Chains A and B, each alone.
Chain A
Amino acid sequence: MSELIQVQNVSKSYWRDSFEIPVLNNLSLSVKQGEFMALMGPSGSGKTTLLNLIAGIDKPSSGKVFVSGTEISNLGESSLAKWRANNIGFIFQFYNLIPVLTAFENVELPLLLTKLSKEERKKHVENVLNIVGLGNHMQHYPKQLSGGQEQRVAIARAVVTDPVLLVADEPTGDLDRNSATEILTLLERLNKEFNKTIVMVTHDPHAAERASVVRHLEKGDLVGA
Chain B
Amino acid sequence: MKVFKLIFKNALRHKLRTFLTILGIMIAVIAFGVLRTVVTIWDSSVDAASANRLITRQSVSFIFPLPYAYKEKIKSVPGVQDVSFANWFGGVYKDKNNFFARLAVDAETIFDVMPEFLITPEELEAFKKERNSCVIGADIAKQYNIKLGDVMTLEGDIYPGRWDFIVRGIYRPQNKNTDDTQMLFHWQYVDERMKIESPARTGLVGWYIVEIKDPNKSAAISNQIDALFKNSSAETKTETEKAFTQGFVAASSAIITAMNLMSFVIIGIIMLVLANTMVMAARERTREYAVFKTLGFSTFHLTGLILGESLLISILGGGIGIALTYPIVAGFEQAMPKGFFPFFYIEPITTIMALSAAILIGIIAAVFPIHRTLKTKIVEGFRFVG
Q: Is B9 an interface residue (CB 8 A)?
A: yes
Q: Which residue on chain A has the smallest CB distance to residue B285? A: A98
Whether a CB of chain B sits under 8 angstroms from the CB of A18 is no
What chain B residues lie within 8 Å of A109 (beta carbons)? 292, 295
Residues of B within 8 A of A86 (CB): 296
Task: Verify if A82 is at the interface (C-beta below 8 Å from B).
Answer: yes
**How would you classify the secondary structure of chain A's contact residues: helix, strand, loop or mixed?**
helix
| Given A57-B378, A57-B379, A84 and B1 contact (CB-CB distance below 8 Å) | no
Interface residues on B, range: 20 to 34
> Quick check: A81 and B296 within 8 Å, CB to CB?
yes
Do the beta carbons of B291 and A81 come within 8 Å of each other? no
Known: A57-B378, A58-B378. A113 touches B295 (CB 8 A): yes
Is the pair A98, B288 in contact by a Cβ cutoff of 8 Å?
yes
Residues of A close to B9: CB separation below 8 A? 100-101
Partner of A90, one of B295, B298, B379: B295
Assuming A58-B377, A98-B288, is B10 touching A85 (CB within 8 A)? no
A81 touches B10 (CB 8 A): no
Q: A57-B378, A57-B379, A96-B291 are in contact. Are A85 and B296 (CB under 8 A)?
A: yes
How many Å from the CB of A64 to the closest CB on chain B?
19
A111 to chain B, nearest CB (A): 9
Report chain B residues within 8 Å CB of A112: 1, 3
Q: Which residues of A contact B59 (CB under 8 A)?
A: none
B interface secondary structure, majority: helix
Within 8 A of B (CB), among A153-182: none
Which size class do A's interface residues fall under?
A: 20 to 34
Give chain B residues whose Cβ lies under 8 Å from the Cβ of A135.
none
Q: Complex: how many Å from CA A58 to CA B3?
A: 27
B293 at interface (Cβ–Cβ under 8 A)? Answer: yes
Q: Is B299 an interface residue when CB atoms closer than 8 A count as contact? A: yes
**Residues of A at under 8 Å CB distance from B?**
52, 55, 57-58, 78, 81-82, 84-86, 90, 92, 96, 98-101, 105, 108-110, 112-113
- Hey, which bits of chain B sit against chain A, CB under 8 A? 1, 3, 6, 9-10, 12-13, 287-288, 291-299, 377-379, 382
- A and B contact pairs by CB, cutoff 8 A, 5 listed: A90-B294, A98-B288, A99-B13, A100-B10, A110-B295
